[in-house]
C-alpha cells in the first residue's frame, strides 16, 4: 500500500527561508510541499537547492514581491494548472497531479484591516475571491474524477476554537461572520473534508498563525488563529491516516508567521 504525505506552509518568502524549507523537508520527509506567499518571480525559485536534497519537481505560479504559490515534490508533477481568481493577475493558485492525486496550493487574500467592503477594497477583493472559490469548487464537484487535495493559506479561521478569543475577534478580519460563513459554505458545497479538524476535533483550540507583533512571547500568550487548511475529497479523506501540526517552526530564527501542516494518506 502506497502512501502520500502532503504538507502546506505559508513560507512568507521562499528565497529568504529556503534553508528552513530544506530543514523542514529533511526532518518530516513529506512527498509534497505546497507553499504560499513565496514572493518569488517565475524562474527564480531556488529549485536546485531542493533538488539536491531529493525534491526536484516544481509547479510554480509566482510574481515579484507579492503572493506566489508553489508545489514541490519528490515525484514527477503532471498537468500543471494555474487559475487567475477575480481577473486580478495575482499568483494565488497552482495545481498539479502527483501519484494520481490532484493537489492545489491556494493563497486567499488577507483582506486588509477594516472588515467593510464599502471602504476597504482589499476586503471587497477577499469576499469576491471567496465567492469565486465557492463557485469553482462547486463546479469541480460535478465533474471531479480524480482524488483531490486543496490546501493552503485560506486566511479565514472558521470556527470559534480556531482563534484565541472568539468574541474579541468577531470584528477582526479573518474571523468576521461574513468570512467564516463564506468558508463554511464553500466547504459544504464543495463536498470536501476538512481533514485537519477531523483529526483534531472541536472544541480543541488549533492555530497555525501568530502575529509577529507578539514577538518572542508568542507561545506563552498563544494568541493564534487557524488560517491554514487541508481539505480532501471524501474517498481520499477516509484514507487520511494522520495529521500533524508543526508548531516548532514558529520558534526558528526569523520564522514565517505561519506553521506547516502535514497530512498522510493511504493510496489505493
- Any idea where the domains of the chain sit in the sequence? 3-266
Is the pLDDT confidence value at 146 over 90? Answer: no
Measured over the CA atoms of residue 205, residue 206, residue 209 and residue 212, the dihedral's sign is positive
State the residue for C-alpha cell 530543514: 23
The grid cell for 107 is 493563497
Is the pLDDT confidence value at 145 over 90? Answer: no
User: For residue range 202-251, what is the model confidence (pLDDT) as tens digits?
Assistant: 999 999 999 998 777 888 889 999 999 999 999 999 999 999 999 999 99
What is the percent of the chain where pLDDT is above 90? 93
The pLDDT of 68-83, averaged and rounded, is: 98
Architecture of the domain spanning 3-266: 4-Layer Sandwich (3.60)
Name residue 103's beta-bridge partners. 96, 149
Which run of H or of E encompasses 219?
helix 218-221
> How far apart (Å, rounded) are the C-alpha atoms in residues 204 and 69?
29
Sheet holding 240-245, edge to edge: 57-61, 69-73, 32-36, 3-10, 261-266, 240-245
At residue 142, the pLDDT reads 83
Q: Model pTM?
A: 0.97
The pLDDT of 16-33, averaged and rounded, is: 98
Which run of H or of E encompasses 8?
strand 3-10
Amino acid at each position: 500500500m502506497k502512501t502520500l504525505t502532503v504538507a502546506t506552509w505559508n513560507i512568507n518568502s521562499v528565497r529568504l527561508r529556503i534553508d528552513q524549507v530544506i530543514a523542514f523537508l529533511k526532518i518530516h520527509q513529506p512527498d509534497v510541499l505546497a507553499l504560499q506567499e513565496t514572493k518569488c518571480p517565475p524562474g527564480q525559485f531556488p529549485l536546485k537547492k531542493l533538488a539536491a536534497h531529493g525534491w526536484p519537481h516544481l509547479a510554480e505560479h509566482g510574481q515579484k514581491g507579492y503572493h506566489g504559490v508553489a508545489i514541490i515534490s519528490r515525484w514527477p508533477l503532471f498537468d500543471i494548472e494555474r487559475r487567475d481568481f477575480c481577473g486580478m493577475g495575482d499568483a494565488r493558485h497552482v495545481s498539479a497531479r502527483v501519484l494520481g492525486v490532484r493537489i492545489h496550493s491556494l493563497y486567499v487574500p488577507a483582506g486588509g484591516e477594516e472588515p467593510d467592503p464599502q471602504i476597504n477594497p482589499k476586503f471587497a477583493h477577499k469576499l469576491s475571491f471567496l465567492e469565486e472559490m465557492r463557485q469553482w469548487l462547486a463546479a469541480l464537484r460535478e465533474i471531479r474524477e480524480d482524488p483531490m487535495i486543496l490546501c493552503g493559506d485560506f486566511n479565514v479561521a472558521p470556527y470559534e476554537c480556531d482563534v484565541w478569543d472568539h468574541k474579541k475577534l468577531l470584528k477582526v478580519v479573518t474571523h468576521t461572520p461574513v468570512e467564516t460563513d463564506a468558508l463554511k459554505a464553500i466547504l459544504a458545497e464543495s463536498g470536501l473534508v476538512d481533514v485537519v479538524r477531523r483529526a483534531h476535533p472541536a472544541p480543541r483550540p488549533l492555530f497555525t498563525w501568530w502575529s509577529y507583533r507578539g514577538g518572542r512571547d508568542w507561545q506563552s500568550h498563544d494568541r493564534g488563529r487557524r488560517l491554514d487548511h487541508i481539505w480532501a475529497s471524501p474517498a481520499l479523506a477516509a484514507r487520511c491516516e494522520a495529521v500533524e501540526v508543526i508548531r516548532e517552526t514558529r520558534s526558528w530564527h526569523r520564522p514565517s508567521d505561519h506553521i506547516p501542516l502535514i497530512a498522510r494518506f493511504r493510496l489505493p
